[in-house]
Structures are given as C-alpha cells and as structure tokens.
Amino acid sequence: DAGVIQSPRHEVTEMGQEVTLRCKPISGHNSLFWYRQTMMRGLELLIYFNNNVPIDDSGMPEDRFSAKMPNASFSTLKIQPSEPRDSAVYFCASTHRTGTSHYEQFFGPGTRLTVL
C-alpha cells in the first residue's frame, strides 16, 4: 500500500518566490496534518484538516502561509512570498479519527525546503 506521498522531496528557491508543497494522504484517512521541523523549534503543527475542513490553523506562522484541501486525496501548503527563515523540512501526515479514538499518524517523507 502506498503511504503518504509528498512532492517535491527537495525544493530550493530564492527569497520572494512562491513555493507550493503537495501531499496525498493515505486512502481512507480523514485527518491530515502539516508539520514543520527545524533544529531550533523541533516539530511544529502548522494546520490540521478533518474531512477536508481546516480545523485549526493556529500554527501557521503568518499570512504568507496558506493551506488547502480541495478533496480527500490532495492537500497543498503554499508560502508566498518565501523567506530564508522558512527553510525547514515540511511533513504531511494522515490518520483516521473516529470520535475520541487516536491512531498513529502516518508521515510522508517530507519536503526539504531551502530559501536562499
């Protein structure tokens, strides 16, 4: 079975450019998460979708960041304009939630973003 798919795996861009990261969750999962990992701050939750609806975007750093989930099999995280401090590894994860049951989140391979 395919796991969580992220693209691109690596992205190098210049400051001010728009960056779009893509994620395909595991089929049948109804919850999707975007995380950012840096040495300084560790793993941070950016945004959480449940049944394609954004539930909590309080972790999104600022208005330059936006995320969408147009359907159950696709999500994007966009940074516009990008800045050097956005350089990090961005993970997408998915899980299936029912009620208060918590199952492990399955992570994609991550996108390493470098903003010059």
Partner 1 sequence: AQTVTQSQPEMSVQEAETVTLSCTYDTSESDYYLFWYKQPPSRQMILVIRQEAYKQQNATENRFSVNFQKAAKSFSLKISDSQLGDAAMYFCAYVGGSNYKLTFGKGTLLTVNP
Q: Which residues bind partner 1 (CB under 8 A)?
A: 31, 33, 42-43, 45, 48, 50, 55-56, 89, 91, 93, 97, 100, 102, 104-107, 109-110, 112
Shortest Cβ 91–partner 1 spacing (Å): 7
CB closer to partner 1 out of 81 and 109? 109
Shortest Cβ 81–partner 1 spacing (Å): 26
Shortest Cβ 77–partner 1 spacing (Å): 17
CB closer to partner 1 out of 1 and 104? 104
CB closer to partner 1 out of 16 and 61? 61
* Contacts by 92-95, CB closer than 8 A, 24 or more apart: 92/4, 92/6, 92/21, 92/23, 92/25, 92/32, 92/33, 92/34, 92/35, 93/4, 93/32, 93/33, 93/35, 94/4, 94/25, 94/26, 94/29, 94/31, 94/32, 94/33, 95/29, 95/31, 95/33
CB closer to partner 1 out of 45 and 72? 45
How far is residue 101's CA from residue 91's CA, in Å, rounded to a whole number?
22
Shortest Cβ 31–partner 1 spacing (Å): 7
